[in-house]
């Protein structure tokens, strides 16, 4: 290697830095854990939460430690903050939370059919209320859903 000038030295350092960065990313991807859990929340389907976790959430709620209870639910389910808060408050309040398996076992017309029937009967507000109750959507989302049917 003859004379190596400053330009060649800079190019060599950039190449080595790039190679080192690629190696570090590969190592992290191969052995690292995901940055966040994948949530399996879908509107109307509450993730299954084991009874010991539900009991711990109730205990934390009784101790006015809502933030810790929400963190526990998020950790166990991978839900986002808003959804985890809803689930946590529901558990603490003792409200019934249907699970995905219970939802699948229900018979009868699906939600869209029931909403269409209410809408055709001129009972749009009841249709919106039904959608909100069964899916956990907010008012705006439920109105949009009913409007699309």
Each residue's pLDDT expressed in tens, for the chain with a length of 149 residues:
567 788 888 998 899 989 988 887 777 766 554 444 444 445 555 667 888 888 999 999 999 999 999 999 888 887 788 888 888 988 888 876 655 444 444 556 788 888 888 889 888 888 888 888 877 778 888 888 888 87
Total-model pTM: 0.41
Give the separation between CA 133 and CA 3, rounded to whole angstroms. 76
| pLDDT of amino acid 62 | 92
Look up residue 49 and give its two tokens.
């939460």
User: Burial code of 11-29, b = ≥16 C-beta within 10 A, e = fewer?
Assistant: eeeeeeeeeeeeeeeeeee
| pLDDT of amino acid 33 | 47
| pLDDT of amino acid 22 | 86
- Give helix 66-77 / helix 81-93 axis angle, nearest 10°: 120
| pLDDT of amino acid 38 | 42
- 101-105, Cβ contacts within 8 angstroms, sequence gap of 24 or more: 101/48, 103/44, 103/45
Instruction: Using alpha carbons, select from 82, 83, 73 the residue that is nearest to residue 49.
Output: 73
């Amino acid at each position: 290697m003859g004379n190596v000038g400053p330009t060649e030295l800079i190019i060599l350092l950039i190449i080595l830095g790039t190679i080192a960065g690629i190696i570090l990313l590969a190592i992290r991807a191969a052995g690292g854990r995901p940055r966040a859990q994948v949530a399996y929340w879908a509107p109307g389907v509450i993730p299954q939460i084991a009874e010991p976790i539900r009991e711990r959430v109730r205990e934390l709620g009784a101790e006015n430690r809502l933030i810790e209870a929400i963190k526990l639910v998020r950790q166990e389910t991978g839900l986002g903050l808003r959804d985890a808060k809803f689930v946590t408050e529901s558990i603490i309040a003792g409200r019934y939370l249907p699970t995905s398996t219970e939802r699948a076992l229900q018979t009868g017309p699906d939600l869209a059919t029931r909403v269409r029937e209410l809408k055709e009967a001129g009972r749009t507000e009841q249709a919106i209320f039904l959608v909100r109750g069964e899916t956990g959507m907010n008012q705006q989302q439920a109105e949009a859903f009913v409007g699309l049917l």
